[in-house]
Structure 1
């Protein structure tokens, strides 16, 4: 990415890379009236500002009152100021307007600039304050009919301006809010006259070959929940993709939505209601899989929208040939304290986990306060240990390495989370499939007795030594699991039987899933009964230099778990760490600042704690990237990031989170109790934020992540991205 805005918070960036045909991810064309236009990916030399491709956009003709805009929908926040930068050029000369606009009547413009561009790249910058509780967009508008406009390296940043909602020395509330309000943003009763789909609804079908489906208006008695009609949808075949009944909607990033629909079928059928981002990674904000019958059933989903682009409310049929009827749909925005503690009980010691991959090069244990060790990418999985059927050797090779790890953990008073899988070629149901870990590794075993024998062998051997067992690694990713959800549920049942037989205190963790398709996969796993066989729900959350974005991701998973009545089960982040975000910076040259190195993991850990995550296994101790490095090459000396993480763990261990909340979307506040001690941890995502703390907190001292403590001379002071403890 060639564009950076180091002084401000980048909220969206697009480098137009990828293999698209018409639109780069997140972009589309908003057109009205009689207008013709075209859009395509551009890769010719000179027509790309940086990277390998740019976006081409051309208005061919337009009548009076008509137009077409190339747009990037974005979740702007009312009262905040934004700066947009975009690079444009044309073939010869043309007039181009760049605009930030409200996408609701009366279509107010936040900022706009019209420039003359030629065959060289022109940097266009606009800035203004967004003043509405409505969705908006960045727009590129061609003022010259017939001209090819090339667009590259676009970025939107939140900036501080005089007159913004935030004020110097902002007073912090003594506590977070407890109320919840619901505001309806759209409703559909399907009572209009239509032959195919109701107004605003359509069918999204994709794949090669295309799936087949039917849709129509239904008026028969019993097939309408209320009013005169309902929507009928029937998926006949999925083809090479699928077909969904969808309602596109301009969801705003970071806001919570609740969708309610009444659904039924002709006979027993499985269907899914979900809110989805309509751009990569096509992730669900809220999802629920249900079994429908011949009576109307109320189906509700809730989640926090994570995308910068338009999404949709979707109905998917999982039963080919079944008629699904939909009626009385409602979408509401939910306003509440999204950072309120999921639990106020004492933090479990399982929260502090880590990976150690280079054992043998050293035998040192991290001095960061971690007490749980996850084994993954350690040369100790199934295909490493049992290279031939029923051939085990714990005196050499991978078997000896597993023994080494178990002894290492015991010597350092650490628990072990052992991750089961991957399938050996000899046991694989398709040993010719190339999995991420080798031929046949991603396929289920041909005979589940081989799986049972593998689990039984390890569970019995390490009874009392390995307490936690993870069913599989990232089973929503085809490179590590190409089997069905139902097969994984069956394997969960077997694994549970064997580990509990070896030691009733053993705990089984569901497969650790990714943020791409993991939410939808988890919903299907729980709907198929997987929750009956696991003690803990597993997920994988990595994060960039804005780890606060973890909060809505975690909340969406918690909502899926709650939908299935399993909110009592612990939620674990079995693998995660800070990563470079290539959509915001050039990762080949970028280096995390010292403040980022010190703060990022502490902030992530606090967010996870607040959202009810009770295990986080840092991946991995010996890593070398600037943003995630915890120890020097001697495997003894801690880095600044390592020292800071150790300090943050000291703040949290043995404590209870009494209250947590955010102020003006940038100041994060955590009220903590440990025995007779009460203290507050807080930071701001905007460096240089002046705050005034309430006198009721009784604060007199401040402690930093570097372990330095001093008196607090005034109730008003400046916060940055590094958390501080006030006591």
Structure 2
């Protein structure tokens, strides 16, 4: 494990010798900037029925972790290049085969991330990156682009028709993950895009997952540039032509509620519009919540609320897919993370139960509106066939009584623990940080 102090928090990079770890688990404290204030309340809602693929997931250890006991709509897979091709001409597909087999058995779409150059192919083979001294060169671009093209072609050909989407690198503004220039990453994207389309014209190419959450502290040596700005330059230098989906990582921390992520989403959408990418999907390809080491663990209400509110607000704000990190997050390395399962990787937590329940509320429904009222109570209207209308309500600031409008014709109240109750004769219900569905 590599531990690099960031203000009062820690960036944790994980070195695993037998199995790759998905993603780069980075959290950061936000920096407020008045010049970058964007509308954080009003959501522009899609008229498309909500698909199951909104609910993406990571699984770190597919050979050890049972498949999630809740529905998963999409799977993001991270098996490093150096793991698949440890030496030129040597290929090891066992772990990636396992991921793809599991996903097929569950009917789940796969997003594979190209990342981590092997030492033999690296332009800077002795440079230490996120995997430490045992695997140097991982953050470097390849010395010979033909090695990169061959890797992309070999993977795409092997999994043609089985892996639908590919992401061009992980966290490219994290120097431990990528130490090259933006220009070089644009070249890599161009080469990969061409090869992928030669293999299969139906392949979806996703932009790098730059860390684009609320403003970074600003003095961290491990960050080359804020994620929104990094992607802005990436597109400006030509990569917009090689992008089918924009896929940043919108990491935040406990003090920044899910509602406040709308600010970063709007900034990202402004960059997309600038580069004529507004018609392309926007995905959050890796994200989670954590507390600082000196804080108390998440309460059950916090856990349920953060999970459900994030997915609801994301869809309302224009994000069509969100990959949670991770189903089996390492509890020893990440004791303060919001967990989906207990240490046995089987027993569900309030967070994973909420993940399952909010799917029932959303998948197949159309969201008609979603925004806070004058009292900062969020109200989201969802409809279905057969004249169904439901109302999802919560107050991000805590519990208070809510008088249900009589014209809603509410019969029952559903919560994120799977409970149901009849609306009181008074027509009032107590709401809080954990959303309720009134229908």
Measured against the shorter chain, the TM-score band is: 0.7 to 0.9
SS of match in other structure, 1:434: coil
**In the alignment, structure 1 residue 698 sits paired with structure 2 residue 405:** no
Cα deviation, residue 709, structure 1: 1.3
Question: Retained in 1: the 8 A contact 2:45–2:369?
Answer: no
More helix by share: 2
Question: Retained in 1: the 8 A contact 2:379–2:391?
Answer: yes
Question: Retained in 2: the 8 A contact 1:519–1:557?
Answer: yes
Question: Retained in 2: the 8 A contact 1:561–1:567?
Answer: yes
Cα deviation, residue 337, structure 1: 8.2
Q: 2:307 aligns with which of 586, 596, 601?
A: 601
Shift in alpha-carbon separation, 1:484–1:18, aligned structure 2, 3 A: closer
**In the alignment, structure 1 residue 469 sits paired with structure 2 residue 166:** yes
Residues 38-58 of structure 1 show CA distances to partners (whole Å, capped at 9, x for unaligned) of: xxxxxxxxxxxxx9xxxxxxx
**In the alignment, structure 1 residue 339 sits paired with structure 2 residue 46:** no
**In the alignment, structure 1 residue 416 sits paired with structure 2 residue 110:** yes
Question: Retained in 1: the 8 A contact 2:55–2:72?
Answer: yes
Q: 1:502 aligns with which of 199, 204, 220?
A: 199
Shift in alpha-carbon separation, 1:568–1:715, aligned structure 2, 3 A: same
Report the counterpart of residue 383 of structure 1 in structure 2: 82
Q: 1:568 aligns with which of 274, 279, 298?
A: 279
Alignment of structure 1 residues 78-93 onto 2, 5 Å: none
Q: 1:457 aligns with which of 137, 149, 154?
A: 154
Instruction: Measure the CA separation in 2 of the matches of 1:674 and 1:506.
Output: 31
Report the counterpart of residue 629 of structure 1 in structure 2: 339
Residues 322-358 of structure 1 show CA distances to partners (whole Å, capped at 9, x for unaligned) of: xxxxxxxxxxx98x78432341211233211111112
Question: Retained in 1: the 8 A contact 2:41–2:259?
Answer: no
Instruction: Measure the CA separation in 2 of the matches of 1:352 and 1:665.
Output: 30
Report the counterpart of residue 554 of structure 1 in structure 2: 265
Instruction: Measure the CA separation in 1 of the matches of 2:313 and 2:124.
Output: 42
SS of match in other structure, 1:537: coil
Shift in alpha-carbon separation, 1:553–1:426, aligned structure 2, 3 A: same
Residues 662-693 of structure 1 show CA distances to partners (whole Å, capped at 9, x for unaligned) of: 12463111111122321111100122222223
**In the alignment, structure 1 residue 674 sits paired with structure 2 residue 380:** no
Which gives a bigger RCO, structure 1 or 2 (Cα 8 Å, sep 6+)? 2
Report the counterpart of residue 367 of structure 2 in structure 1: 657
Question: Retained in 1: the 8 A contact 2:207–2:245?
Answer: yes
Question: Retained in 1: the 8 A contact 2:115–2:168?
Answer: yes
Report the counterpart of residue 120 of structure 2 in structure 1: 426
Q: How does the TM-score come out when normalised to structure 1?
A: 0.52
Q: How does the TM-score come out when normalised to structure 2?
A: 0.84
Question: Retained in 1: the 8 A contact 2:414–2:420?
Answer: yes
Q: 1:542 aligns with which of 248, 251, 254?
A: 251
Report the counterpart of residue 24 of structure 2 in structure 1: none
Instruction: Measure the CA separation in 1 of the matches of 2:318 and 2:375.
Output: 20
- Residues matched between the structures, number: 393
Question: Retained in 1: the 8 A contact 2:45–2:370?
Answer: no
Question: Retained in 1: the 8 A contact 2:45–2:367?
Answer: no
Instruction: Measure the CA separation in 2 of the matches of 1:576 and 1:407.
Output: 24
More strand by share: 1
Shift in alpha-carbon separation, 1:626–1:594, aligned structure 2, 3 A: farther
Cα deviation, residue 645, structure 1: 1.3
Alignment of structure 1 residues 20-419 onto 2, 5 Å: 307-308=31-32, 311=34, 338-362=41-65, 364-376=66-78, 380-393=79-92, 399-419=93-113
Cα deviation, residue 462, structure 1: 0.3
Shift in alpha-carbon separation, 1:665–1:531, aligned structure 2, 3 A: farther
Question: Retained in 2: the 8 A contact 1:373–1:617?
Answer: yes
Unaligned regions of 5+ residues in structure 1, if any?
1-16, 20-50, 52-280, 283-305, 314-332, 394-398
Instruction: Measure the CA separation in 2 of the matches of 1:343 and 1:607.
Output: 12
Question: Retained in 2: the 8 A contact 1:341–1:658?
Answer: no
Question: Retained in 2: the 8 A contact 1:597–1:627?
Answer: no
Question: Retained in 2: the 8 A contact 1:691–1:716?
Answer: yes
Instruction: Measure the CA separation in 1 of the matches of 2:295 and 2:115.
Output: 36
Report the counterpart of residue 38 of structure 1 in structure 2: none
Question: Retained in 1: the 8 A contact 2:152–2:196?
Answer: yes
RMSD value over aligned CA atoms? 2.3
Instruction: Measure the CA separation in 2 of the matches of 1:340 and 1:537.
Output: 19
Question: Retained in 2: the 8 A contact 1:701–1:711?
Answer: yes
Residues 173-213 of structure 1 show CA distances to partners (whole Å, capped at 9, x for unaligned) of: xxxxxxxxxxxxxxxxxxxxxxxxxxxxxxxxxxxxxxxxx
Instruction: Measure the CA separation in 2 of the matches of 1:383 and 1:485.
Output: 22
Report the counterpart of residue 441 of structure 1 in structure 2: 138
SS of match in other structure, 2:382: strand
Question: Retained in 1: the 8 A contact 2:210–2:248?
Answer: yes
Report the counterpart of residue 638 of structure 1 in structure 2: 348
Work out which of the two has the higher radius of gyration on C-alpha atoms and give 1 or 2. 1
SS of match in other structure, 2:417: coil
Instruction: Measure the CA separation in 1 of the matches of 2:43 and 2:259.
Output: 14
Report the counterpart of residue 109 of structure 1 in structure 2: none
Shift in alpha-carbon separation, 1:343–1:312, aligned structure 2, 3 A: closer
Shift in alpha-carbon separation, 1:658–1:521, aligned structure 2, 3 A: same
**In the alignment, structure 1 residue 524 sits paired with structure 2 residue 228:** no
Report the counterpart of residue 143 of structure 1 in structure 2: none
Cα deviation, residue 312, structure 1: 5.2
Instruction: Measure the CA separation in 2 of the matches of 1:688 and 1:503.
Output: 52
SS of match in other structure, 2:247: strand
SS of match in other structure, 2:259: helix
